[in-house]
Structure 1
Amino acid sequence: MTFRTASAILFSVLVLTLSGSPVHAQNLDDSEELLSVGGQSVSKDEFIYLMGKGNNENAPGLSRKDFEENLQLFINYKLKVREAEALGLNETPEFTREFEAFKENLKAPYLIKNSLEEGELRKAYSRMQEVIRASHILFQFPPNASAEDSLIVLKMALKVRQEIQSGGDINALAVEYSDDPSVKKNQGDLGYFTSLQMVQPFEDAAYSLNPGEVSEPILTNFGYHIIKVQERKPNPGQVQVSHILVRIDPEKPESEDQAKRKVADIYTEIQKPTTVWEDIVKNFSEDPATSQKGGLLPWFAVGSMIPEFEMAAFSLTESGEVSPPIKTRYGFHILRLEDRKPLDSFDQMEDQIRSRILRESRSSMIQSQVLAIQKSRYGFKENEELVERLINELYQTPKNEFKLKLESLEISPEQELFKIQDTSYPVSDFIDFLGYDEANPKSKNQGNFELWYNRYLSTLLDQQEEQHLESTNKEYQMLLKEYRDGILLFSLMNDQVWQKGIQDSVGQRQFYQQHLDRYQWGERIPVLIVKVLDKEMLASAKNQLEGKNYSESFSEEFIAQSRQDNPMAYKIESGVKELSSHPVLSECKREAGFEELEIEGETYLLLKGEKISAGPKKFEETRGQVIKDYQEFLDENLLESLRSKYAVQINKPAIEEAFVAINQ
């Protein structure tokens, strides 16, 4: 019988609890109560949940016999949890620390933040299936821009957009109007990019456009952007190339012509069939980082290199294919394709995507969405007038001066900041929070009060969400209870069974003496067993063993000599062995001396000592088995005492309902 469940912490312990006589049933009235242990109710749903965790959908239904055995395991488990609670193990600092650590991990998948984050991860990976080539024009705000300045910039962006819509060339207009420093080199052409390579508003706008379409002015931290998508195509994945670089010295006008002639000569040399790429790279490439390793560069994807280099690399299709010379701001390059591979799977990229999302503005966006959902869900009502005043009055006030500033503003500590679920939170609670929160949050867009106020609010709403989870989410409730009870069960078993069984040396010896019949040797014999692997060495081994008497010293000498002279010729074992349980000795004669055996085509040479009669094992020889048996004995005694201590009442109708539910 296999106990069907997935929780290693809980049910590796439960397996040890199946012992003793069954608990007698007594009908209870509540159909949702499966049973009670010492007056504490145990729900039918908990049993069904735990049984279902290890249920293979393709497995046949649970037989009545297996169901009853599993029910007894469950009862044993609940008896032990009841005892752990009675002993106060759920109130110890160790339990609290361990359970809180579990809760942090268990609750994560159920939180609003996790759900939103998962959505952003999936959206980013979905967008990564495509790459976009786009051009843009950036209109920056002047320093310390006023609202009027911002409006002027927006009107200019709209004017230029209209020119593009009327047939104007966005790249020519970018040279004329764009504030992007790179426009002199790229004329506004950004090359190819994919998700998470641009700031979020820019990316959102670009992925909403079809080729040829022009965006409305898009506001980012850099200013307003006008974006025109030139092309969208499937993501080509990653490439690895090696290259040769001939540099251009921007300080010397003649340098470009010299570099162009040199790279042309190198390219001609590469075309010769006898040319070795690595030799050409070593002799002529001016990239010190790669010239001594064949010009090899790390794997890269779209958006990772300067556009000219990247386009040349992705235009190569066959391993070993060499590009014509291309020019970048570093000089002239010749590229050779080493390998290509598709975009990694979501599972492979998940951690990388999450890390990038959490490092950029999307993290703040997710947190803002979480806060908005929590406010709506948990009945948040703000004292808007007071909060707005504090945002303005305490904008630059340091955190440790809030209290004095509030006093100078004659704001009462008892004045309400907001309510959550009809619970009022006054200014004094916020001040107390500042006293124990040692974090150092930073934000470019918020004043000091707003920053700390939002942190305080997030802390309270997160607590509210967790409480809501524990009271309304049945799956989370069950999971939490499973781990809570599993920790208690482990603590009880560790204290009263496992560690006691290991440390109680007096109890171990008493148990050994009382159950000596369990620890008996059969007939044994001291023996040297030589399995001959190399048949050519059979005669040599026989010559060394025939006519000799077994001794431990002779055995050691033979083994040492064999390992030195012919380590692969024999497989050797020696020592005192039980005759009946050993696969070779069970076939041999019982007399001392030399013997040759053939078993299933293998040759064995035996040198045997005098037979040792059957008898009890010494305690030291069997201590490991004694400890195991003693622990089982302690567990049986513990269960027996718990059955006497706590009455178990069973609800027969609920048991039948559980049987049907588990087999559905």
Structure 2
Amino acid sequence: MLNLMIKRFWMLMVAVVCLPGLSSGQDDPVLFTIDGKPVHQSEFVYIYSKTNGKNADFSETSLEEYLDLYVKFKLKVAKAREMQLDTIPELMNELNGYRRQLADSYLIDKEVTEKLIKDAYERSKQDVDISHILVSVKPEATPEEVAAAKGKLERAMKRIQEGEDFEIVARSVSDDQSAKNNGGRIGYVSVLFPNGFYELEKAAYEVPVGKLSGPIRTDAGFHALLVHDRRPARGEVEAAHILLRTDVDEEERMVKARIDSAYQALEAGADFDAMAKAISEDSRTASNGGYIGFFGINRFSKDFEEAAFGLKEEGSYSKPVKTSVGWHILKLISRRAIQPYNIERGRLENEIKKDNRFEQAKAAMVAQIKEDAGLKEYPEALSNFTETLTDTFLTFRWRAPETPSDALLFQYGPDFQVTVGDFADYLERASRERIRMGRGKDVASAVNTLYGQYLDESAMRYEEKQLEAKYPDFKALMREYEEGILLFEATKRLVWDKASQDTVGLEKFYEKVKGQYRYGNRAETSIYRVSNELKDQMEDVRAFIANNEPEAVLEKYNGPDATFPLITHESKNLDKTLYPEFKSMEWKKGAMSQSEPNPQAQKFKIVKIEALLEPRTKTLDEARGYVVADYQDYLEEQWVEELRETYEVDINRKVFKKLIKE
């Protein structure tokens, strides 16, 4: 179990530390070779940077130290290969297990997540001014209803293309209720669009300005889109405001007079925060000086937004601005532009993974894999298999045929073939899915649904087999995992196991260095833990402990009438420099610590020195843990020296010198 835990930690370190950045060709020279096998500059630079983090200063001293470590690593791997550890089935199965764990998430991250994040970040650099017309479609709509909705939108678009005004058509056709007032004009928006509107977002950023586009399908229905403008993103402003409402029993002109008076007072030097606390009628912000916080476009009304983003200097404030709720004076606190990608990435990733665009992109990736791989299906084989099934298929009792069919079901290229027998095994494992489908589907429909899922999963498995060929960084990662496994096994056999099993060698090593394993000044002590019930008798308890042996103490306070022990005792030999109680005690026989309470345990602890022990060398048994650890280090040093004599190491000093930054 311990070895397994160590190995998992070891492999985690390989994954974190040893994933190399890649380059190739003339710009990636060889830094060193081990018996002629090259290690390139890019691999070393990435590992050095990753391991040292902020301390990766590329100084000559730092680089030399890490180069020595990495050469040792590669020497040990060379020895592991010479031992043919890379042919042991158990180790290779372990490597394949790591690969399976990595491959699926790696493929999704590369082909889906990273692309969506980068697309969203690039779009976030612009705000888009759009109008739309929506013809809604209910989630449970029939194909006929979907077709009717699409036709309705197409007829509306034709009216616009023939010259009718977009706003007029939007007011008469759009199911977006706001179109009655705004003629379909949404105004400036930015990513991310609401969940379910990814296709509309893509069109908003891709369709040429002024061109009518559609029908665009979203979760709400079909849209016609018109892009009016794109501008550099405004980002966010941090602002405060003073609000005087017009929805109270007060004439409009009186509210306007009050806000003008407030503005004049600010012009004369009045403090904005103090005035907001005194007169603002926004109960959520007034007590905090009118502070709203950061906000971007399209969150508040257009007039409010324009006033806020129109302020140029931090600390400046606007003239009175009218909105539907009243009159405002806004103060600009700060601006925040779109942040660099490495800062925005985490936020975008969290939002994207909650959005159904993620599943859409994953489905599109699977479809592309099928197309690129030349998927070939054999529907007759599926049909023949389905005909053999009865209603039992939709219950937990169904089992795959004992003699699996080798009829070809589908294939990706000549080398990735899936049989009906493979599919049957999958169906047996998918018992929950089969049983769930039994509530609303017949056997043929259930099989077709599960076949589609299996086909998608197989596409992912096929693509995962191509990862090394398509992605050099994944190939390098798997190389590092393999080297990590080999290094662990070689070190275990030649160092760790030897250190713990070589009794004679351990004893000889101990005799050479035993002087470094010593006890310092120690004391033989009695440690008493006294129940809280005796706290009022503590002076008597301490006096009795001071003058009696442990047996007498326990007999007095834990008599036959006690329901539970009032005092417990243990003997320990304690090091003077390591035990905190000794700092406040005299170093002599009979000395006692203060009665320190432990509120959680409801007890007091008292330490009494029974005898002083002289410093001495520890025996091998007493120091075994330390001796074994030091013996391992010794064996590893000896091993590395042997490896340096066995394998030729050639370091290209010209390449190394170019890495140094003064």
TM range (shorter): 0.5 to 0.7
5 Å-filtered alignment, 1:274-353, equals: 274-328=269-323, 332-353=327-348
TM-score by length of 1: 0.60
Report the equivalent of 1:85.
85
Report the equivalent of 1:213.
211
What is the distance in 2 between the residues matched to 1:498 and 1:519?
Answer: 21
Higher RCO (CA < 8 A, seq sep 6+): 1
Instruction: For residue 292 of structure 2, give the secondary structure of its aligned residue in structure 1.
Output: coil
In the alignment, is the contact (CA less than 8 A) between 1:512 and 1:619 conserved in 2? no
Change (3 A) 1:456 1:307: farther
Structure 2 letter corresponding to 1:372: A
Change (3 A) 1:75 1:154: closer
What is the distance in 1 between the residues matched to 2:340 and 2:235?
Answer: 11
Change (3 A) 1:386 1:361: farther
Report the equivalent of 2:132.
136
What is the distance in 2 between the residues matched to 1:439 and 1:314?
Answer: 55
What is the distance in 1 between the residues matched to 2:400 and 2:634?
Answer: 68
5 Å-filtered alignment, 1:245-256, equals: 245-247=243-245, 255=248
- 1:268 equivalent in alignment to 2:269: no
Residue deviations 1:58-94 (CA, integer Å, cap 9, x gap):
999xxxxx99998787444322455593996x727xx
What is the distance in 2 between the residues matched to 1:306 and 1:405?
Answer: 62
5 Å-filtered alignment, 1:173-188, equals: 173-188=169-184
Report the equivalent of 2:116.
120
Report the equivalent of 1:630.
631
In the alignment, is the contact (CA less than 8 A) between 1:278 and 1:294 conserved in 2? yes
Residue deviations 1:394-449 (CA, integer Å, cap 9, x gap):
9xx99945997999xxxx97765423344553455334324435888999xx9865
In the alignment, is the contact (CA less than 8 A) between 1:240 and 1:297 conserved in 2? yes
Report the equivalent of 1:54.
44
5 Å-filtered alignment, 1:369-518, equals: 369-384=364-379, 400-401=394-395, 416-422=408-414, 424-437=417-430, 452-470=450-468, 476-493=474-491, 497=495, 510-515=508-513
In the alignment, is the contact (CA less than 8 A) between 1:210 and 1:229 conserved in 2? yes
Change (3 A) 1:55 1:413: closer
What is the distance in 2 between the residues matched to 1:402 and 1:386?
Answer: 24
What is the distance in 2 between the residues matched to 1:637 and 1:514?
Answer: 16
Residue deviations 1:430-472 (CA, integer Å, cap 9, x gap):
34324435888999xx986565433322322222222233578
Change (3 A) 1:372 1:403: farther
Structure 1 letter corresponding to 2:44: G
What is the distance in 1 between the residues matched to 2:191 and 2:17?
Answer: 45
Change (3 A) 1:99 1:242: farther
In the alignment, is the contact (CA less than 8 A) between 1:267 and 1:334 conserved in 2? no
Change (3 A) 1:267 1:637: same
Percent identical among aligned pairs is 26
Post-superposition offset of 1:344: 0.9
Post-superposition offset of 1:235: 0.5
Report the equivalent of 1:362.
357
Change (3 A) 1:102 1:180: same
Residue deviations 1:274-295 (CA, integer Å, cap 9, x gap):
4332233333334333222122
Q: Which one of the candidate residues 197, 201, 204 is aligned to 2:199?
A: 201
Instruction: For residue 132 of structure 1, give the secondary structure of its aligned residue in structure 2.
Output: strand
Change (3 A) 1:267 1:483: farther
Post-superposition offset of 1:221: 2.7
What is the distance in 2 between the residues matched to 1:243 and 1:358?
Answer: 35
Residue deviations 1:118-146 (CA, integer Å, cap 9, x gap):
33322222222110111222122478655
What is the distance in 2 between the residues matched to 1:437 and 1:503?
Answer: 48
What is the distance in 2 between the residues matched to 1:337 and 1:68?
Answer: 56
Instruction: For residue 215 of structure 1, give the secondary structure of its aligned residue in structure 2.
Output: strand
TM-score by length of 2: 0.60
What is the distance in 1 between the residues matched to 2:69 and 2:138?
Answer: 78
Report the equivalent of 2:29.
none
